[in-house]
Structure formats: C-alpha cells, structure tokens
C-alpha cells in the first residue's frame, strides 16, 4: 500500500506517517506542498491514496484536488484539514475527493478511514458533518445571529444569555444592534423580519 501525505506542517506529516507505519502500511511518502505531491506521483507512479492538506501552498481551494487527481491517474485523493467547515467537506466530495479527514481524528479512526478510502469507499466523518456551520445573515455577526435565533424561538434576554453563557446586559446590546441592522422597532419585529425573509 503506497500512501502520499502532502501537508506543510512537519509535525502533522510525521505524526500521520508514524500512525500508518505502525499499522504496517508499506510505503509512506510525505511532501510539503502541492507541486511536490504532483512531482512525486509523476516520478513514481500513482499512489493508492493521497492525503492533501486543504490549506497548504499551491492548493488554491479545491483546484489543487483536481490537479492531484489527474497526477494520481484517478486513484483516490482525500482532503485533510484542521480548519475546513462541513460545507468545504461536502464541496470536496462533490469535486471528486475520496473523503475528508479532519486532523482531529484519532489515530485508529484515521487508519480505518485510510483503509476505507484505499478500498474505493468514500469517507466523511458523521460527527464532524453534524456540526452546525456558523450561519451569518444580513451582515450580522455570528453572535448576533445566535441572539436572533433566540428571539425567533421566543426566548427572553435572560434565557438567551444563559444559553450563550453571556451576561444579560450583553444580550440587550446585541438586541439593540440587531434592531438597528434589521430596521426593526423592537425585538418582536426583529424576529418577524427574520422569519419573513427566511434569514434563519
């Protein structure tokens, strides 16, 4: 089994390589950017699986994925990331990635995911995909959006403060800002505007 790990962080590359070597995976090649990954595939033939760091030099979003897939003769290429969102993970799969591997995945889970993808399956961690992406609407900050969601659920400032682990006075300030941004006279109208415009 030949695995190529492309990541610009030495520690990440070395740690994953160590996991895989401990599991007896035959050949692990590690490089630090996309150009080096493409060159490695060109020089030694396709790998059973390539793990590409989403944020490393040369990736240019998911364009790097397409380039690597061509260099790897269509063999599985997966995205590896410590910061990408569930939306990026879905986009990566839509663009032909064999899977999406968060860097937070435990050693055993990562080895299992790699075996899975080498076997031709698609890997997408359920827990990671269940995380709700930070939604921001109508030029509201993420926190303002959370407060607005509380208003739409009919919660009091005190309840919203408790849910978000904030002071009630902070929630009052957010409500005031929300009303200004949504051009609402009060909290009730802000919630109605959010519903009418399907902001949440």
User: What is the pLDDT at residue 134?
Assistant: 43
User: What is the pLDDT at residue 61?
Assistant: 85
Place of tokens 């904030």: 166
User: What is the pLDDT at residue 135?
Assistant: 47
R_g (Cα) of the chain, nearest Å:
22
Residue range 172-198: average pLDDT?
A: 89
User: What is the pLDDT at residue 108?
Assistant: 87
pLDDT tens-digit map of 165-180: 999 999 999 999 999 8
User: What is the pLDDT at residue 137?
Assistant: 55
The whole-angstrom separation of Cα 63 and Cα 152 is 39
pLDDT tens-digit map of 135-153: 445 678 888 889 999 999 9
Residue range 99-127: average pLDDT?
A: 90
Same domain, 48 and 125: yes
Model-wide pTM > 0.75:
no
Same domain, 116 and 28: yes
Whether 81 maps to a domain, the answer reads yes
- Region of poorest pLDDT, from 31-35, 169-173, 182-186: 182-186
Same domain, 60 and 14: yes
Query: What CATH number should be reported for the domain holding residue 66?
Result: 3.40.50.2300
In angstroms, the Cα distances linking 69 to 44, 75, 77, 121, 152 are 15, 7, 6, 16, 45
Does residue 57 carry a pLDDT above 60? yes
Same domain, 34 and 94: yes
The whole-angstrom separation of Cα 128 and Cα 151 is 27
Whether 51 maps to a domain, the answer reads yes
Range of the domain at 169: 142-196
CA torsion 62-64-68-74 (nearest 10°) is 30
User: What is the pLDDT at residue 142?
Assistant: 84
Q: How far does the chain reach from its first CA to its final CA, in angstroms?
A: 46
């Amino acid at each position: 089994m030949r695995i190529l790990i492309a990541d610009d962080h030495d520690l990440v590359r070395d740690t994953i390589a160590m996991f895989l070597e401990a599991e007896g995976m035959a050949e692990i090649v590690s490089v630090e950017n996309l150009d080096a990954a493409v060159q490695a595939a060109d020089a030694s033939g396709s790998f059973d699986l390539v793990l590409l760091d989403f944020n490393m030099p040369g990736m240019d979003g998911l364009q790097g994925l397409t380039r690597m897939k061509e260099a790897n003769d269509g063999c599985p290429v997966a995205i590896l990331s410590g910061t990408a969102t569930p939306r990026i993970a879905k986009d990566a799969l839509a663009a032909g990635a064999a899977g999406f591997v968060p860097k937070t995945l435990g050693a055993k889970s990562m080895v299992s995911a790699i075996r899975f993808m080498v076997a031709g399956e698609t890997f997408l961690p359920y827990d990671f995909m269940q995380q709700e992406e930070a939604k921001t609407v109508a030029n509201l900050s993420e926190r303002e959006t959370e407060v607005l969601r509380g208003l739409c659920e009919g919660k009091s400032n005190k309840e919203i403060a408790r849910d978000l682990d904030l002071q009630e006075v902070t929630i009052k300030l957010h409500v005031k800002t929300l009303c200004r941004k949504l051009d609402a006279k009060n909290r009730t109208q802000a919630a109605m505007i959010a519903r009418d415009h399907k902001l949440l």
